[in-house]
Amino acid sequence: MSEHIEYEARTVRPYAVTGGRVRSARSDLPLEALVEAMPGAVASVGLPPEKRAILQHAASNYISVAELSALLHLPLGVIRILVSDLAEQNIVRVHASQPVEVNTGESPALSLSVLESVLNGISAL
């Protein structure tokens, strides 16, 4: 019986953490995007525990979206939504290698050419 309750808690919790949302304006944050807490952000009040934990991890050093997911034991999608919320509130700043936009319309061929260039560069080493 206890095992069933633990399973329910794991499946319901991420849904509750995001307020039932599965997407945000910036839910396409790359795994490697770095999160930086803005000065004084850790002292923010009225935030849920998960957002406070993100701020604590991002306060001393930049931390990636993937690392936050692992450290907080939350799915990547949930972390992306929470970080997006914090960024919209100007509590954190997100640093990505490319500007993060919704529906960039970038063609797969462009992505492939970038990957080929990287591969060629690595091969030349």
Each residue's pLDDT tens digit in the chain (125 positions)? 445 444 444 555 666 666 666 666 665 788 888 999 998 888 888 889 899 999 999 998 899 999 999 999 888 888 999 999 999 999 999 998 765 554 445 555 556 666 777 777 777 76
pTM for this model (two decimals): 0.65
The number of domains in the chain is 1
Residue 102 burial (CB < 10 Å; 0-12/13-18/19+)?
exposed
Cα 82 to Cα 13, 79, 93, 102, 116, distances in angstroms: 14, 5, 13, 16, 33
Range of the domain at 118: 2-124
